[in-house]
Amino acid sequence: MNLFNDFFAALYTMPLEQAVFWSLLGNVVMFAAALVVGEALVRRYHDKPNSPPPEPISRQEIMFALLCVILNALVAAVGIILWRADIIHLRPNGDILATVIDVIVLIVLMDFGMYVFHRVAHHPLLYPIIHLTHHLYENPRPLTLFVLNPFEVLGFGALLIVVILLSQASQVAIVIYLAFNLIFGLVGHLGVEPAPDAWLKLPLIRTISTSTFHAEHHHDKAHNFGFYTVIWDRLFGTLSPEYAQDFGRANGS
């Protein structure tokens, strides 16, 4: 915990250009880690595909992904500026229970907010401007997580800043949430299913989204708008009626 306190204390006082550098470095590290871990998972679960094999990587994909990393760093820099300007307030790092509560609040608020944003992005007037870029790559791979229109990257980033402003989570909770978000985003774009066949039979666990859940959305734009859970899709009637069948198929059952 002292390490987090020391780093954030330094981040609060260091020259802004150094804070921007650390923001960019952190996003580059997360990008590289996602690709390495993602490739390892794809190889590990290659016998459980939930999508056809993707096309060869194009230069356009790479450019969109790199731009996403840069814009994510910009969003983080804006968050740092707002924090240093005393507009965003972060709670002091507390005990484990307080941290867990902060993380849960961030997850719930972001899960609902991203569901709403995602559905709005599919509106016929907004879809070509905001979300079409991501759907140019219907057969996902780990890189697809970062292949987004700049407007979509900034939209999700703005949502996160608003949620942090409202929740006033602790510093360590925000770091944990960002790692959690990266993991779920990566899993959703593997093109294979790591979750065991029993996943959808377990109470509570079955409400957590799977790789197949998001892979279905890539092929069926009218369903599965959620991110971390299937709760909002169930509640608002947008869960794919073929979800259980496709999940079982990916698991060979």
Query: Is residue 98 in a domain?
Result: yes
Query: Are the C-beta atoms of residues 114 and 156 closer than 8 Å to each other?
Result: yes
Query: Is residue 198 in a domain?
Result: no
The mean pLDDT of the chain is 94
Q: Which two tokens stand for residue 86?
A: 């005393």
What are the Cα distances from residue 118, in Å, to 85, 125, 155, 180, 231? 30, 13, 10, 19, 15
Q: Check whether 191 has a pLDDT greater than 90.
A: yes
pTM, two decimal places: 0.94
Work out how many domains the chain is built from and give that number.
1
CA–CA gap between residue 216 and residue 50 (Å, rounded): 8
Query: Is residue 117 in a domain?
Result: yes
Residue-wise pLDDT for 1-41, tens only, equals: 567 778 888 888 999 999 999 999 999 999 999 999 999 99
Q: Check whether 75 has a pLDDT greater than 70.
A: yes
The alpha-helical segments, DSSP class H, found in the chain are: 2-13, 16-44, 59-84, 96-121, 127-130, 132-135, 150-167, 171-188, 211-219, 231-236, 243-250
Residue-wise pLDDT for 86-122, tens only, equals: 999 998 887 889 999 999 999 999 999 999 999 999 9
Cα–Cα nearest to 231, from 206, 207, 198: 207
Q: Which residues contact 78 (CB under 8 A, 6 or more apart)?
A: 157, 161
Q: Check whether 202 has a pLDDT greater than 70.
A: yes
Helix axes 59-84, 2-13, angle to 10 degrees: 90
pLDDT attached to residue 1: 58
Query: Is residue 6 in a domain?
Result: yes
Q: Could you list the residue range(s) of the whole structural domain that residue 89 is in?
A: 2-193
Query: Is residue 70 in a domain?
Result: yes
Query: Is residue 204 in a domain?
Result: no
Query: Are the C-beta atoms of residues 12 and 214 closer than 8 Å to each other?
Result: no
pLDDT attached to residue 177: 97
Percent share of the chain, pLDDT over 70: 99
Of 52-61, 86-95, 128-137, 224-233, least confident by mean pLDDT is: 86-95
Q: Check whether 57 has a pLDDT greater than 70.
A: yes
pLDDT attached to residue 7: 84
Query: Is residue 208 in a domain?
Result: no
Query: Is residue 221 in a domain?
Result: no
pLDDT attached to residue 189: 97
Tell me the CA end-to-end span of the chain in Å, nearest whole number.
Answer: 45
CA–CA gap between residue 46 and residue 193 (Å, rounded): 9
Q: Tell me, what DSSP letter sits at residue 171?
A: H
